[in-house]
Structure 1
Amino acid sequence: MSPTREIYWNIPGHLLLYPLFAISLAIFAYGVWRRVRLWMLGARHLSAASPGVIHEIYPTTPGRRIARVVSLGLGHARFFRTPFPGIAHFLLFWGFAVLLVGTIIVFLEADLPGRFYFGPFYLAVSFALELGGIAFLLGILLLGLRRYIQRPEQLDERFDDKIALALLLFLAVSGFLIEGLRLYVLQPPWESWSFVGAGIARLAGAASLSDGATTRLHQLFWWLHLLATFGFIAYIPYSRLLHILTSPINIAVASSDPRGTLRPMDLEASEIYGTSQIDEFAPKQLLELDACTRCGRCQAVCPAHLSDKPLSPKKVLQDLRHHLSVYGPTILRASRAGEKNQEATADPELPLVTGGTIEEDVLWACTTCAACETECPVLIRVIDKIADMRRYLVLSESKFPSELRLFFKNMETNFNPWGIGWATRADWAQGLDIPILSEVGSSKLLYWVGCAASFDERNKKVAVATSRLLKAAGVEFAILGAEEKCCGETARRLGNEYLFQMMAMENVELFKQYGVTRIVTTCPHCYNSFRHEYREHGTGIEVIHHTELLATLIEDSRLRLHGPAASGTAVYHDSCYLGRYNDIFEAPRSVLRAALDPAPQELPRAMDRSFCCGAGGGRMWMEETIGQRINELRTREALEAGVATICTACPYCLTMFEDGLKAENAEERVRVRDIAELAEEAGEVSV
């Protein structure tokens, strides 16, 4: 006898499953349609002025999108960054996938002409279904253990979570029970291939169940399992289970642009400045709200949240989703009725911002460090939404922290945050014999000094060290001198898109005037802006961070470092905009290995999991009056490592660490140095 089984054994009236299945699919389809309509609310505001269905600076090929789905979706690459829940979800996902494939095989065997579900194929599928069922059940139990026993702070609890977990658990257990009861009655010689079911059959035998009682139990659990399965399908779009659909879709359509990339704005063509209502987000941004699984990985690494500020990236997404669910249908109905957009939006007593769903303190707490986006397993972007709402507050309402008024004024009048006269921008270079472009006409390399290294006394030393190293290595370069202006990055992150675009366009014209094709800078914020965001204004200039250039010079033996440039233990702090934003991790470490002996140690949170210094997103220029100071938290982490030197590659980080050391009364025993300063101390140049 060839191994097989009767598909609907002991199930009279099984044809009823087809209308039940159709009903569940109809409920499912209606729920999905409702959500898609809400996502497309944002399409009403899309135009050349505000692209965003899938806006990309760097377009992604279909092949790369498929590879991303395989790696992040099927492979769970980012889930494993948090091992315990990552393993649990991996087991749940692949167990479910195997059981789904097995169910499809059974349906095909029952409904297609001819037979294929027998012999070795049947045995292989039976064995695979046992393994899939075990993985599925184990994943459910592990996730239940994490949620209800371990109870990490990042997880919130809703009744929907209990329903979803209970439904999945019942499907897993009832599936094994149905199989075991069938095997107990039929006792096929190949039952060992279904080893879990065979074990349940032995338990039924030990309980001395009669065949009649067993068949009745089998029928009961079969129908309950069927109803639970169809209920599960129908429930998906109305519950947290919707992420089964939205998460892989979001992974597939996610932008390949660097983390933290903001939506461009055509200020002349735009009728809306920033985002004040839910339907002013792009459809892709609204899809992301439904792709969020509330896993809390973003919240667990957010420096604002960890320093007791009101921002939680997870809560921002969930609050926006709730706002969309509550007010989206009203907007749709009003739109169909032909009402004006203003009348069609949410209740004016509960707007999206300015005293509404998202509080202003939440928006201003963000450092744009992109830790949240790095951890998100399904590639949800948060920073662009916060920036869009900041844009509304700044450009439309003129509502921002009072200290930013002076910041914006300084940028407008002297083109730098300090407000120091623009004509003194190159004073740091006096006596160094550094060429200025207006005098030499052109240069192979433009050294973009940046505002901090031009005006801040401490950071001027970094500019001097960098220049001396480049000159000693025989690198031909020049600076813009008094013609250099701020890159505008901080103004943009603070929501002042007008100020950013004004500075960006002036800088681009300056680059064209002097034929600039290559820039080196010591500031990761300038680096990120020039490399990525200036592309919106027609530039394709090669941009290099000074640590990359120094690493190349050392590798080419144009710069010899004999070290050690520091005594005692040293650690390197990864800048958010250099590391997470641009994946530059090795170059700074390469220079430090050449400059220091022993080589620097790693902080507990390093590389793309580095903890923010607290200065990004314009926070450098705002008072930190809520919660703990982020820079002091990071400084304490370095001090706990017993360090003598903290190494940085960002002017903001350098400043924040020095302030942190003062707060900890440690400035006498621990020093902060930029990598260029350490390289200069250890340098012996051979040209």
Structure 2
Amino acid sequence: MAPPDLAYAAVYAGFLASVAVAIFAVLRESAKSPSSLRPGRLLGLTKDELGRLSTGEPVFLMHLSIAAGVGLSIGAFALDPVLGLAPALRLLILIASLPILVGLVAAFAWRIERFGRSKRVERDLVRTDARLSSSSTALQLVLMAAIALTASELAVLWIPQLWATGAILGSVRNLLVAYYYARPTVNLLSTYDRPLSTMTIPFNLADVISGKTDASEIRAGVRTYSDFRTSDRLSFDSCVEIGACEAACPATEAGRPLSPRLLVRKMSLLAESGPETDPFSLASDDELWSCTSCGACVSSCPVGVQHLDVVYDLRRELVSRTKLDKEKTSLLSNLAQSQNPYGFRQSARADWASGLGVPTLAANRDAEYLFWVGCVSSFDTRAQGIAKALGKILKSAGLSFAILGPEEMCTGDPARRLGEEGRFQELAIQNVEKMNSYGVKKVIASCPHCFNSLKNEYPAFGGKFEVVYHTQLISDLIRDGRISLPPDKVQKISVTLHDACYAARYNNVFDEPRAVLGAAVSDLREMGRRKEKTFCCGAGGSNYWFKVPQQRSIAGIRTEEAASTGAKEIATECPFCMSMFEDTTKVMNTGMDVRDVAEIVADSLV
């Protein structure tokens, strides 16, 4: 039986008022990011969210279930006065509610599981205080309440007699959305299309050198809460303890003292202690050094929190405070004195090419491509095989290429990820000047870290090059018939591909290496975490050059995953990854070989 008219009107008006409060809250928060509510961005976010459906990733399916549940329930209860006159529309809403209800139940179950895990992380891995722990618990309970209220509201749609109950539940949920989720909504609208490869630049060294900027005014890191940018505060204040970042983080899984969830929550809580609060009153050094910069946290966050910005800001501050151990100090010293992280003499950088007929740009200025070798493939004996293999492929294809040889310096990626922004920019400026002096237009890189720096970071310093990753180029050469891999040269082996974070997640290079391996080997097997959801080898974020406390090896975890495929070989596309897996496969006695994609192709060339 329908409720009395006055009671119905009161409940209905209350529901609409709660919707208005939620909308007002979003509009108020959008004032901090004026462009976030432009129609184009709303449409773009909708397309982006729907596009994630194709990935089948559970976190985003549940996230979409919650968003769809809120939207459908608001629409259904707001339209209630006319639904009685439109039975077909009511039926359509009821049918649409069924898959959403399933998603909400799954989301609630996942939340319970994540709540338990989060408490274990707080207990066993990361330094927390009672304030942070209680705040974390409250936010997670609010999220579970919002899911439960939305599911209950949709369920009530099937029982018209309980309409008033559903409307009241919806009103409570709408007020929770207004208070807790307006800011995350605006943050997502502001950041959903920000490339993972984007890094904030705290200063421009060229301006300092030219005198445009006073060096005394430069501050790379953050001394206090007030030093964080407005966008940073919006970002870490948007964390609502979903926990997707923590679930994806290789450092957390390996038992390192880092949870990206807790790190951004700590920064958010700094505001309660005043604008001049030192971030390191809550964050520890090891917490920051544990990050591999793989980007899994950022790419998995449903509300667009930019965890890596916080890591880099705080690492820069640690560098400015000279809070570095011997390994990190040695790394920076080697980069300053020898222009490579090993400290080897630059004159030996092209020794790997001795007798191979690989020209330098100094001797062949008309070369179409500059082959950027990188430090690891230049100096590491095992990784030199990658450079030799790629050189063989380029020659076989008849490409005109050359190397810089002793004139090539480190791209500076290890320095930038460590937090030494000045050293990175110094190396970047010198490399760009050298490349521009030769008129370089096209660059091939076989290291994803070099590739990312050259492609995405060097343009800010005048490096306007067409940069291609070696697996992309090899794929094109095979497709165009410029190198031949006949059937009798296909290697009869089972291979599993490890996607490098800076190739796949940062730069969306994941189809090309698969196309190459599909032509070169007989049996390609996939790991569960692959492509943009790949799992780090543990070397990124300069972690290759220093150690942090951990319960398990990140590379060991990945090696176990590779071995579980039954493959006999791990195919890599990064010299750092290769080095990590060369060690773990031997230590763990897996019997697996490790080769770069370029090496596999070179071994099959006619």
Q: Is the 8 A contact 1:518 1:541 kept in 2?
A: yes
* 1:367 pairs with 2:367: no
- Relative to structure 1, the CA distance from residue 592 to residue 64 in structure 2 (aligned partners, 3 Å threshold; closer, same or farther) is farther
- Relative to structure 1, the CA distance from residue 369 to residue 413 in structure 2 (aligned partners, 3 Å threshold; closer, same or farther) is same
The residue aligned with 1:647 is 571
Of residues 217, 229, 232, the one that matches 1:285 is 232
2 CA distance for matches of 1:473 and 1:96? Answer: 56
2 CA distance for matches of 1:76 and 1:480? Answer: 41
Q: Is the 8 A contact 1:95 1:135 kept in 2?
A: no
Q: How big is the shift at 1:246? A: 3.0
In structure 2, the gaps of 5 or more residues are 121-135
In structure 1, the gaps of 5 or more residues are 41-52, 55-59, 110-116, 178-193, 201-217, 332-344
Q: How big is the shift at 1:407? A: 0.8
- Relative to structure 1, the CA distance from residue 421 to residue 559 in structure 2 (aligned partners, 3 Å threshold; closer, same or farther) is same
Q: How big is the shift at 1:170? A: 6.0
* 1:250 pairs with 2:187: yes
What letter matches 1:391 in structure 2? R
- Relative to structure 1, the CA distance from residue 384 to residue 171 in structure 2 (aligned partners, 3 Å threshold; closer, same or farther) is closer
2 CA distance for matches of 1:164 and 1:377? Answer: 13
* 1:298 pairs with 2:245: yes
The residue aligned with 1:569 is 494
Percent identity reads: 29
Superposed counterparts of 1:118-267, under 5 Å: 120=85, 122-127=86-91, 130=94, 141-148=105-112, 153=117, 158-162=137-141, 165-166=144-145, 169=148, 196-197=159-160, 222=164, 232-238=173-179, 242-243=180-181, 245-254=182-191, 256-267=193-204
Q: Is the 8 A contact 2:494 2:567 kept in 1?
A: yes
SS at match of 1:153: helix
- Aligned-pair Cα RMSD in Å: 3.6
Q: Is the 8 A contact 1:155 1:296 kept in 2?
A: no
2 CA distance for matches of 1:639 and 1:27? Answer: 50
Q: Is the 8 A contact 1:28 1:234 kept in 2?
A: no
Superposed counterparts of 1:632-671, under 5 Å: 632-666=556-590, 669-671=591-593
The residue aligned with 1:315 is 262
Q: Is the 8 A contact 2:496 2:524 kept in 1?
A: yes
Q: Is the 8 A contact 2:447 2:575 kept in 1?
A: yes
2 CA distance for matches of 1:638 and 1:309? Answer: 22
Of residues 461, 482, 485, the one that matches 2:409 is 485
Q: How big is the shift at 1:508? A: 0.8
- Relative to structure 1, the CA distance from residue 450 to residue 142 in structure 2 (aligned partners, 3 Å threshold; closer, same or farther) is closer
Q: How big is the shift at 1:82? A: 3.9
Q: Is the 8 A contact 2:538 2:544 kept in 1?
A: yes
Post-superposition CA distance 1:349-369 (Å, at most 9, x none): xx202xx21111110001111
* 1:437 pairs with 2:361: yes
- Relative to structure 1, the CA distance from residue 141 to residue 515 in structure 2 (aligned partners, 3 Å threshold; closer, same or farther) is closer
- Relative to structure 1, the CA distance from residue 565 to residue 397 in structure 2 (aligned partners, 3 Å threshold; closer, same or farther) is farther
Q: How big is the shift at 1:522? A: 1.0
1 CA distance for matches of 2:531 and 2:153? Answer: 46
1 CA distance for matches of 2:342 and 2:500? Answer: 22
The residue aligned with 1:607 is 531
Greater CA deviation, 384-393 or 96-105? 96-105
* 1:507 pairs with 2:431: yes
1 CA distance for matches of 2:410 and 2:549? Answer: 27
Q: How big is the shift at 1:470? A: 1.1
Q: Is the 8 A contact 2:15 2:170 kept in 1?
A: no
Post-superposition CA distance 1:445-486 (Å, at most 9, x none): 111111111111111122112112212221111111111101
1 CA distance for matches of 2:291 and 2:236? Answer: 18
Q: Is the 8 A contact 2:236 2:307 kept in 1?
A: no
Of residues 48, 65, 70, the one that matches 2:46 is 70
What letter matches 1:469 in structure 2? I
1 CA distance for matches of 2:359 and 2:352? Answer: 13
Of residues 349, 352, 363, the one that matches 1:425 is 349
Of residues 1, 4, 11, the one that matches 2:6 is 11
- Relative to structure 1, the CA distance from residue 565 to residue 494 in structure 2 (aligned partners, 3 Å threshold; closer, same or farther) is farther
2 CA distance for matches of 1:662 and 1:265? Answer: 42
What letter matches 2:253 in structure 1? L
- Relative to structure 1, the CA distance from residue 11 to residue 80 in structure 2 (aligned partners, 3 Å threshold; closer, same or farther) is farther
Q: TM-score, normalised by structure 2?
A: 0.85
Q: How big is the shift at 1:256? A: 3.5
Q: How big is the shift at 1:542? A: 0.3
Post-superposition CA distance 1:372-398 (Å, at most 9, x none): 22222233221122011101111x201
Q: How big is the shift at 1:642? A: 3.1
Post-superposition CA distance 1:121-162 (Å, at most 9, x none): x43454456557767766655444444479662589724544
Post-superposition CA distance 1:321-373 (Å, at most 9, x none): 2223x13xx43xxxxxxxxxxxxx12xxxx202xx211111100011111222
SS at match of 2:496: strand
Of residues 70, 85, 109, the one that matches 1:96 is 70
- Relative to structure 1, the CA distance from residue 64 to residue 459 in structure 2 (aligned partners, 3 Å threshold; closer, same or farther) is farther
1 CA distance for matches of 2:7 and 2:511? Answer: 67
What letter matches 2:415 in structure 1? A
SS at match of 2:501: coil
Q: Is the 8 A contact 1:25 1:234 kept in 2?
A: no
- Relative to structure 1, the CA distance from residue 95 to residue 428 in structure 2 (aligned partners, 3 Å threshold; closer, same or farther) is closer
Superposed counterparts of 1:503-652, under 5 Å: 503-562=427-486, 564=489, 566-596=491-521, 598-652=522-576
1 CA distance for matches of 2:153 and 2:338? Answer: 72
SS at match of 1:581: helix
Superposed counterparts of 1:466-481, under 5 Å: 466-481=390-405
The residue aligned with 1:272 is 219
SS at match of 1:437: coil
- Relative to structure 1, the CA distance from residue 26 to residue 664 in structure 2 (aligned partners, 3 Å threshold; closer, same or farther) is closer
SS at match of 1:11: helix
SS at match of 2:503: coil
1 CA distance for matches of 2:517 and 2:241? Answer: 39
2 CA distance for matches of 1:535 and 1:149? Answer: 44
Larger Rg: 1
- Relative to structure 1, the CA distance from residue 30 to residue 608 in structure 2 (aligned partners, 3 Å threshold; closer, same or farther) is closer
- Relative to structure 1, the CA distance from residue 564 to residue 636 in structure 2 (aligned partners, 3 Å threshold; closer, same or farther) is farther
SS at match of 2:570: strand
Q: How big is the shift at 1:546? A: 1.4
The residue aligned with 1:186 is none
Superposed counterparts of 1:333-412, under 5 Å: 345-346=276-277, 351-353=278-280, 356-394=281-319, 396-412=320-336
2 CA distance for matches of 1:378 and 1:498? Answer: 32
1 CA distance for matches of 2:246 and 2:146? Answer: 27
2 CA distance for matches of 1:392 and 1:320? Answer: 14
Of residues 594, 600, 605, the one that matches 1:672 is 594
2 CA distance for matches of 1:584 and 1:501? Answer: 26
Post-superposition CA distance 1:512-552 (Å, at most 9, x none): 10000000111111001000011111222000111111121
2 CA distance for matches of 1:231 and 1:379? Answer: 25
2 CA distance for matches of 1:546 and 1:168? Answer: 46
What letter matches 1:388 in structure 2? D
SS at match of 1:600: strand
What letter matches 2:295 in structure 1? A
What letter matches 2:189 in structure 1? A
Q: How big is the shift at 1:438? A: 1.6
Superposed counterparts of 1:11-90, under 5 Å: 11=6, 65-73=41-49, 75=50, 77=52, 81-83=56-58, 86-90=60-64
1 CA distance for matches of 2:52 and 2:526? Answer: 23
What letter matches 1:428 in structure 2? W
What letter matches 2:196 in structure 1? R
- Relative to structure 1, the CA distance from residue 276 to residue 124 in structure 2 (aligned partners, 3 Å threshold; closer, same or farther) is farther
